[in-house]
Amino acid sequence: MSFADLRSFVQALEREGQLKRVGVEVDPILEVSAIADRVSKSPAPEGLAGAPSTDPIHGGTGGHALLFERVRGSRIPLAINLFGSYRRMRMALGGDDFETLAAKVQKLIKPEPPTSFLEKMKMLPELAKIAGYAPKHVKRGMCQEVVHTDGADLTMLPVIKCWPHDGGTDDNVIVGRARRAINGSPFVDGLNPHVQADGRYITLAGIYTTAPDGSEPNIGMYRIQVTGPKSALFHCHMHHDGARHHRMWAAEGKDMPVAIVLGGESVLPYAATCPLPPNVSELLFAGFLNDGGISLVPCKTIPVEVPANAEIVIEGFVSATETAREGPFGDHTGFYSLADNFPTMRITAITHRENPIYPTTIVGPPPMEDYYMGKATERVFLPLLQMLIPDIVDYNLPRWGAFHNFCFVKIRKEYPLQARKVASSIWGAGQMMFSKFIVIVDEDVNVHDEQAVMFAVGANVDPRRDTFLVEGPMDILDHSSPYLAAGSKMGIDATRKIAGEGIVRDWPVSLEMSDEVKRMVDGRWGEYGL
């Protein structure tokens, strides 16, 4: 089972030895993020059944989740690195392993048709259960135990600054010059005197938007730069539904209502990041993960519904016309994403439960918390990718690829140039379109063994024959592309070559000991004294 709210998840992590409390006062400006960065790259606590921390499935890196009880300038404790290990991601999603959850997804999207009346009757409880995944609408929720409207003030929250040049100038992040803030207090950016550039960001919130007619409820996870007690900047890339909703509202000349939701059911942050197919609701998927619908309550000042069990909800309107300079921001690529103009947001209310916890995260050079969320998506969404591209046996988004830079794909090869067809299909599959390098290997190569994949590249690839370039949309954060959000991508066919794939000489047989000899050696291993 997943957890009904953030604090029950925190309590469970503490019981499992996955969380440490920090009782000394810490500064939200850089100190919290520096601690979290170091911890996220430390060995993880022991996982299931005492598995060693070096086990890549049950342990690995990730360190502990952290609860900072005294954050300078705020009375609210701060939680970070909550999802920063395989173990904690499984706990958040309520499963023992990602494969079981993937099988559940596969059953949902491609159920086996019943072949008899009895099997049809057996399906009725399952269909009723699926109907229960829809959101539940309630009148009151713990997220509104305390309500601030006129007194709403973002500075009451322990919002962190992640990296030294966040919210500074592009000159700083390009040439590496440090910018000095007098006495550590917020300074006014000279390029935009209306924006305070102390670089504090809300980073682990679900951003709730709808179309102007109230349809298409969407949850995304976009960063929000705090610029004052009642002002912020709404950063959302052009490809995402939140940006599409904003364009729809702006076309009608209306400001867009937005709710920034922190906490709630433990599945919500994950659901907000999932690359779901078009028109599939994140709230419905969250209900599926939660094994029960998410309870929603109407906001106080905007026409948006939010999870009743959230810790903190920030309500407001994103301007249809006004923009301001947002960024730079230290991103998951390991580099600062440069500043650009994004819509301004005015805050109309902040609601929260009594004694809330503020969840946040820091992104940067992996491994960090977002890496484990991404790996969960990789595993859970394999059946969906296989439904779109049946050729795929398995795939791996390696840690050092920062999600979009590299994709290793295993196929069951059956015809010439199949690898090119698979790569083209991947580039047409939702957010997989941002994959910059796709390496295709045969089904006997373990795509999770990066040495094995690169061995196949070195052994099986003729660069002229087996690499191919295409142009198309790129991740906005890819600073290497010649144009913003547009550039080239490479496919690498590292499969064994067959007739019809250009000039192919006789292909040698891979070295492998015979099964008979392997069985004999296994049986005598104890005799060897090794």
> What value does the mean pLDDT of the chain take?
87
pLDDT, tens only, 315-358: 999 999 999 999 999 998 889 988 899 999 999 999 999 999 99
Q: At what angle do helices 98-109 and 86-93 cross, to 10 degrees?
A: 40
Residues 176, 179: Cα–Cα separation, whole Å:
9
Say what the pLDDT of residue 194 is. 37
Residue 479 has a pLDDT of 85
Q: What percent of the chain has pLDDT over 70?
A: 87
Report the C-alpha gap between 222 and 242 in whole angstroms: 9
| Helix or strand (DSSP H, E) at 452 | helix 450-460
Q: H-helix or E-strand containing 271? A: helix 268-273
The yes/no answer on whether domain 132-360 falls in CATH 2.30.110.10 is yes
Residues 247-267 have a mean pLDDT of: 96
Scanning 110-147, the segments in alpha helix (DSSP H) are 117-131
Confidence of residue 129 (pLDDT cuts 50, 70, 90): low
CATH class of this structure's domain 389-493: alpha beta
Based on the residue annotation, tell me whether 291 is a catalytic residue of this protein. no
Is residue 208 within 8 Å of residue 186, measured between CB atoms?
Answer: no
Q: What is the pLDDT of residues 39-98, one digit of tens each?
A: 999 887 754 433 333 334 444 678 999 999 999 999 999 999 999 999 999 999 987 788
Residue type, 481: S
For 236, the 3-state DSSP assignment is coil
pTM listed for this prediction: 0.84
Query: What is the spatial distance between Cα 190 and Cα 170, in angstroms, rounded to a whole number?
Result: 12
* Torsion (CA) 304, 307, 313, 317 in degrees, nearest 10: -20
Mean pLDDT of 440-455: 95
333: three-class secondary structure by DSSP: coil
Residue 406 pLDDT > 50, yes or no? Answer: yes
Helix (H, G, I), strand (E, B) or coil at 332: coil
pLDDT of amino acid 333: 86
Q: How far apart are CA 475 and CA 234, in angstroms?
A: 18
Q: Do domains 132-360 and 389-493 have the same CATH topology?
A: no
Residue 196 has pLDDT above 80, yes or no: no
Query: Strand 486-493 relative to strand 437-442: parallel, antiparallel, unpaired?
Result: parallel
Domain range summary for the chain, segments of one domain joined by +: 6-99, 132-360, 389-493
Closest-CA residue to 167 (of 146, 183, 181): 181
- Distance (Å, rounded) from C-alpha 425 to C-alpha 447? 18
Instruction: Single out the catalytic residue among 37, 166, 331, 394.
Output: 331
pLDDT of residue 52: 36
| pLDDT score, position 116 | 53
Q: What does the pLDDT average to over 212-220?
A: 91
278-322 pLDDT per residue, tens: 677 899 989 988 989 999 999 999 999 999 999 999 999 999 999
Least confident of 185-194, 311-320, 398-407, 410-419: 185-194
